[in-house]
Structure formats: structure tokens, C-alpha cells
Chain A
Amino acid sequence: DGGITQSPKYLFRKEGQNVTLSCEQNLNHDAMYWYRQDPGQGLRLIYYSQIVNDFQKGDIAEGYSVSREKKESFPLTVTSAQKNPTAFYLCASSIDSPHRGSQPQHFGDGTRLSIL
């Protein structure tokens, strides 16, 4: 079955350490997204990518970085510059049609990041 796989499910970060969250999709979707979820704040967009080798900052990109070298993969790195990284991170994907505006997003099961 097609879907989005996020790994690991749980991740712990030490002070000053960068960590990378994996996101892989086999839905043949062009667009991919990273969200951060904190209690009571809903989903906030970190980065998104419409096409391979291109990505844009979302609303809370500071302290994060991404790459999009393959259509299927959109890893997120939480850098040491992100001072409050403890959150639930969700990856999503959607088709990207130039004639159809917003499209439904399909989500992975998330990665919970905590600070040691």
C-alpha cells in the first residue's frame, strides 16, 4: 500500500546536537511538507517542497533545515540552533496540480522528539 513512512518514531537529542528525521513516501506525490505540532497550537508549517531540489520556508523555519534530493524523500534536520525542539513532527505529501489550488495532504505517523 502507498503511504508515508516517518522514522524513527521516538528520538532524543542532546544539547548541541543536530538530529535528522526521515520521511519517505511512495505515493508519487510532488509536494512534501514538514509540520511541528505542540499541544494546543495545532500544526505549524516548517518547510515545504513542491519539486525535487527546491524547497521553501514555512512559518517557523528557524533552527531547521531540509533537503529534497529525491522525489520520495524529504528529511528534516533539527539543528542545535532550535532551542525548544521538543515536539511531535509530522511529514505530509500531496499532489501538486498547477490548476487545482490546495490539495488534500497525506500524513505519516509522526516522530516525537525530546531533549535529554
Chain B
Amino acid sequence: AQSVTQPDIHITVSEGASLELRCNYSYGATPYLFWYVQSPGQGLQLLLKYFSGDTLVQGIKGFEAEFKRSQSSFNLRKPSVHWSDAAEYFCAVGAGGTGFQKLVFGTGTRLLVSP
């Protein structure tokens, strides 16, 4: 079964600075990978997904993520953080192949943006 680890519980970044949120997964084959964002009291919104192909994936709101098979990682990046990016971010991993597959979510990283 797949699993995912987000090693950072909280991260604080200054507005305008770059951001990288870490995600490590465990899965025997090529995984399906996702990043979601959650504002307080809201549901989760999909930022981007990786299924196959180009390992650098572009998402909404200026985010991107890079799939590195050798490191079992799928880190989320943004070159310049805005105050509105303050939220909780979840990485999720799913199995590929045929048939119905569930997603497994990490425990999340809370991003704080300082002025």
C-alpha cells in the first residue's frame, strides 16, 4: 500500500520569498501524485497532479511541483509567496494502473506568511 510523508508541520516564509514544501511517498510502482490546498474552515482545492510524462508539473496559483523518482519526492514550489498563500497544504499519493484506487493523504504542512 502507498504512503506519504510531509516532514514539516509548519513553515513560515516572508512575503515575496520563495517556497518549497516537501513530500515523500512510498509506492512500488509509478505513483499518481497530488497537491491540495486548504484554507481555514474550507474543503481542499486541487493545486496540481502528476500522472506520467514531464516530471515538472505546473498548477494553479503559480505553483509547480517536481517528481523525482530517485528520491521518492514530489516537492511543491512557488517562486514568490503572497500573503493569500497562507493555508494548509496536503500531498496525496494514489496507485496507478487499472481499477479503482484510493488516495492516501499526508498530515499536511501549515504555511504562515510573514509581512
Contacts of A69 in B (CB 8 A): none
Of the listed stretches B14-22, B68-76, B89-97, chain A binds B89-97
Bound Cα distance from A96 to B102, whole angstroms: 11
Of the listed stretches A14-22, A40-48, A75-83, chain B binds A40-48
B90 partner, pick from A43, A48, A96, A104, beta carbons under 8 A: A43
Interface string of A6-42 (1 = CB under 8 A from B): 1000000000000000000000000101010000111
Q: Is A113 an interface residue, CB under 8 A from the partner?
A: no
Chain A nearest CB, measured from B5 CB (Å): 11
Sorting the interface of chain B by its residue count into under 10, 10 to 19, 20 to 34 or 35 or more gives: 20 to 34
Q: Is B101 an interface residue, CB under 8 A from the partner?
A: yes
B95 partner, pick from A48, A50, A102, A112, beta carbons under 8 A: A102
Q: Is A109 an interface residue, CB under 8 A from the partner?
A: yes
B102 partner, pick from A40, A90, A102, A109, beta carbons under 8 A: A102
On whether A107 and B107 interact (CB within 8 A), knowing A101-B97, A102-B101, the answer reads: no
Name the CB-closest residue of A to B96. A101
Contacts of A42 in B (CB 8 A): 90, 105-108
Q: Which A residues from 92 to 111 make CB contacts under 8 A with B?
A: 92, 96, 98-110
Query: What 17 additional pairs, Cβ within 8 angstroms, besides A42-B106, A43-B105, A104-B46?
Result: A31-B100, A35-B105, A40-B107, A42-B105, A42-B107, A45-B102, A50-B100, A90-B43, A92-B43, A101-B101, A102-B101, A105-B103, A106-B46, A107-B43, A107-B44, A110-B42, A112-B41
A-B pairs with the 6 shortest C-beta distances?
A: A102-B94, A107-B43, A42-B107, A102-B32, A102-B101, A43-B105
| Residues of chain B whose beta carbon lies under 8 Å from any beta carbon of chain A | 9, 32, 34, 36, 41-46, 49, 90, 94-103, 105-108
